Structure 1
Amino acid sequence: MMIIKPGNNTDGLLLFLLEQENYPQHYYKYRNLIQIINNPNYLVYKLVLDNNLVGYFILMHSGDDFEIIKFTVKKTHQQQGWGGKMLTYLLTHFSFNSVFLEVNEHNFAAQKLYLQYGFRIVRTIPQYYGNENGYLMCYDK
């Protein structure tokens, strides 16, 4: 059974382990995740499948908009529609004018997902990911 619900402090370690697995070079530290979970300017939601954490996203309030700070699915569960389920939840359960995010220019799977759900590329951000460019993407209600 799939559930998407808010994350809390007890989820911090599982989020941290997923971060390490998916982003071995650039992951959020446990302490930072706990700070984000407890910060009212952020919303942390997790995707649980059969009592196992398989993904999560972090939104940051920016006026009437949200910025997707993190959107990730466990590698063993990617390309199975879970990202789409999280994105559908995000776009239908929150009140906002626009949702923004940055994505690596070479992350074609993520770009395809976001474009499929109505996001558009606003502009290129030179060297946003070190030597690689990023794209600023936006979804308007």
Structure 2
Amino acid sequence: MIEKTYAYDVQALHQIEQEVFLNEPFALSQASFYYHVKKGMLYKAVLDGVIVGYILWLRRKNSYRLYSLAIKPEYRGQNIASQLLSESLKMLDKHTFTLEVRKSNSKAIALYEKFGFKIKKELNSYYDNEDGLWMKLER
């Protein structure tokens, strides 16, 4: 179900991005997806041959940053985000992981806390119209 991504996946990944992050200034372009597929820290969730979500990690010197996690709206509530997070964490070789999340996104915050992420800092006006939270996991 959780698999590495390839260039032929980019169109489907970009479609999910457009669906989930419609009108968001940080939404990834199709070219960005090609770049991240080459870097190898972009994983997809596949159900019945359909890409239903993805997770993108960015490598830092001593850590990884969770840049984006998206599930097609019609597939939410099926534990896919948990599986993406769980499986991708197993594939990464660092011990420190960080992310930013909207302060109002209680479902995402609960998911991250389930995996041991802790809120470390409030990010005032991080998003266009909202504060964010910076979370960290050390294992």
TM range (shorter): over 0.9
In 2: Cα distance, 1:64 partner to 1:10 partner:
31
Task: For residue 131 of structure 1, report the CA deviation from its aligned partner.
Answer: 2.0
Alignment of 1:80-91 (within 5 A): 80-91=78-89
1:10-55, Cα deviation, whole Å (9 max, x unpaired): 11100110011111112311122112222x3x51110111101111
In 2: Cα distance, 1:6 partner to 1:137 partner:
25
**1:122 match:** 120
* RMSD, aligned α-carbons: 1.2
Where do 5+ consecutive residues of structure 1 fail to align? none
Identity %: 25
TM-score normalised according to structure 2 size: 0.93
**1:32 match:** 32
In 1: Cα distance, 2:110 partner to 2:2 partner:
22
- Name the amino acid aligned to 1:32: S
What count of residue pairs does the alignment treat as equivalent? 137
**1:110 match:** 108
- Preserved contact between residue 44 and residue 51 of structure 2 (Cα < 8 Å): yes
- Name the amino acid aligned to 2:89: L
Task: For residue 71 of structure 1, report the CA deviation from its aligned partner.
Answer: 0.9
- Preserved contact between residue 101 and residue 132 of structure 2 (Cα < 8 Å): yes
